Amino acid sequence: IMNAFGLIQICLILLCTTTISSLQCNHLPLQQKKVIEKSLKLLDKMGKRFPQQCLREKAFFRFPEQVLKPRQKETVKVAIEEIFQHIFYIFSKNLTLAAWDGTALEQFQNGLYQQIEQLEACVIKKQSHYFGSKEVNRMKLKKYFKKIDCFLKDKQHSLCSWEISRAEMRRCLQLIDKVIRKP
């Protein structure tokens, strides 16, 4: 009896979760705009102006802008969600030397992650392949973020390396913001 009740409970929970998720999947693109708006504000809020001494260490990361330009709007949306994921994981590394505002950083991460989790549920449900398996752009995106990750590791997560990365992520989000605002 306990097993049956337990199983029914689980089925109900899964059913409810899927129903709720399916309702949210349609509105994800609308929420993306809000997430980007808030993320940009928090990114600015968490630190001060770019420190002068770090200008010497400027590294050149080439963000693959083609990822945001494909013909299908659907592909762009998923590319944006993947970028959110990468940004989320970049900011989850060792941040002690960055000395940023902890509250703003928490809110920034929290907001990104909520969006990621919602989309994950939609992707799992639909089980569709958004990217072609030989999509070059997707690999370029991964390369770009891996380069930033390696840069941070090489500089031992110093203050300047974090400030440079933050400026780079800001640029990235602004690019996305521009793309999303186009009708």
Partner 1 sequence: GQTNLKSPQDIHVYVVNTNFTLRWNYTGNDTNVTFSAEYRFEDFETNEAEWQELSGCQNVTGMECDFSSAITKYYNMHHVRIRAESRGEVSPWSSIFEMVPYDIAQIGPPGIELQSRNGVIKIKVSPPEANQVRKMVIDHPSFKYILVIWENSSSAEFRSQSIFPTAIIDDVSPDTTYCLKVQATLPFDSKEGLFSPIRCVKTTRKAVNNLHCATNVSVLALNMDFHLHWNNQYKHHVSYNVQYLIGYLKKLHDDYSTKWLSVPGCENITVTQCNFSSVITTTGFYYLRVEAITEHNKSCLSNEVKVEPLITNEIGPPGVKVDISDVLLHIQISPPGGAESELMRDSYDLSYRILYWKNSSNNEDEIKMKEIKQTIGTVSDLTPATWYCVKVQAFTEIYNKSSRYSKEECIRTPKGKFIPLVILATFSIALIAVFLVATPLGFALYQAYNKIKYVFFPSCQPPLNIEGFGQFLNSPYLSATEEPIENFSVIEHIITDEINQVDFKDYKHSKQTSRDSGNYSNDDDTSGNKASEVLEKEMV
**Contact positions vs partner 1 (CB under 8 A):** 2-3, 6-7, 9-10, 14, 23-24, 26-27, 30-31, 34, 38, 42, 78, 81-82, 85-86, 88-89, 92, 106-114, 117, 120, 123-124, 127, 129, 133-134, 136, 139-140, 142-143, 146, 149
In this structure, the number of other CB atoms found within 10 A of the CB of residue 113 comes to 15
At closest approach, how far in Å is the CB of 163 from partner 1?
21
Closer CB to partner 1, 143 or 171, in the complex:
143
Q: Which residues of 67-101 are buried (b: 16+ CB within 10 A; e: fewer)?
A: bbeeeeeebbbbbbbbbbbbbbebbeeeeeebebe
Residue found under tokens 């349609």: 26
At closest approach, how far in Å is the CB of 68 from partner 1?
16
Closer CB to partner 1, 85 or 158, in the complex:
85
Closer CB to partner 1, 53 or 94, in the complex:
94
At closest approach, how far in Å is the CB of 53 from partner 1?
29
- 91 close to 109: Cβ distance less than 8 angstroms: yes
Q: What angle separates helix 73-90 from helix 102-126, to the nearest 10 degrees?
A: 140
Nearest to 104 by CA among 52, 26, 40: 40
At closest approach, how far in Å is the CB of 20 from partner 1?
8
